[in-house]
Amino acid sequence: MQNVKIVVTGPFNAGKTEFIRSVSEIDVVSTERKITAEAEKIKSSTTVAMDFGRITVDDELVLYLFGTPGQKRFDFMWEILSEGMLGFVVLVDSARPETFREARGILETFRAYAPTPYVVAANKQDCDDAWEAEDIRLALRLDPQVKLLPCVASQKETVKTVLLELLYSILESIETPAD
């Protein structure tokens, strides 16, 4: 049996757990805990170690989706989670521009851990306050060739599109490896 993994990362409350939950065939194994810090009480609970979801491909291959903890004090987990990943998804909350800088920092950190392909998903595009994906690209200073995909983590189809685009990028990187 081969196990492969894709990491889903992003700032606190970007929607990582929901993203994984939308496509996982098992209930997401979650390590959510009640939030205690006042400043972080946007939601009632958060991921403190990791989430993981599973997609069985066939008898020999299983894909795991690992969600990283969003709060900065758990960033020691990131490097461990990034080991051996096929690629990663950076989830951005389109309606909270105050988290864009942090998202950029997380992206750079993961790029430093491993030169694997990645895509950026502009989540919560269904919110009234959501920034357009192309504006987010500029705010995050993403190169034009970096895939930035609009997404609503609760909608399975958009999550599938994000994962497929990442897999296409991985396929492309195998065919045309970087120097």
130 binds other proteins (CB under 8 A): yes
The single-letter DSSP state of residue 57 is E
131 binds other proteins (CB under 8 A): yes
Q: Which is nearer to other proteins, 32 or 135 (CB)?
A: 135
Site for other proteins in 17-56 (CB under 8 A): 23, 55-56
The structure tokens listed for 106 are 């997380």
146 binds other proteins (CB under 8 A): no
101 binds other proteins (CB under 8 A): yes
Which of 63, 89, 90, 92: binder of other proteins (CB under 8 A)?
A: 63
Q: Indicate the burial class of 138 (C-beta count within 10 angstroms; 0-12, 13-18, 19 or more).
A: exposed
Size of the site for other proteins (CB under 8 A): 51
Q: Which stretch binds other proteins (CB under 8 A): 26-34, 35-43, 46-54, 165-173?
A: 165-173
* Alpha-carbon distances of 153 from 8, 38, 75, 76, 126, rounded to whole Å: 12, 25, 22, 25, 10
C-alpha 171/C-alpha 43 separation (Å) is 37
**Binding footprint of other proteins on the chain (CB under 8 A):** 2-5, 23, 55-58, 61, 63, 82-84, 86, 95, 97-102, 104-105, 108-109, 112-115, 128-132, 134-135, 138-139, 141, 143, 156, 160, 163-164, 167-168, 170-171, 174-175
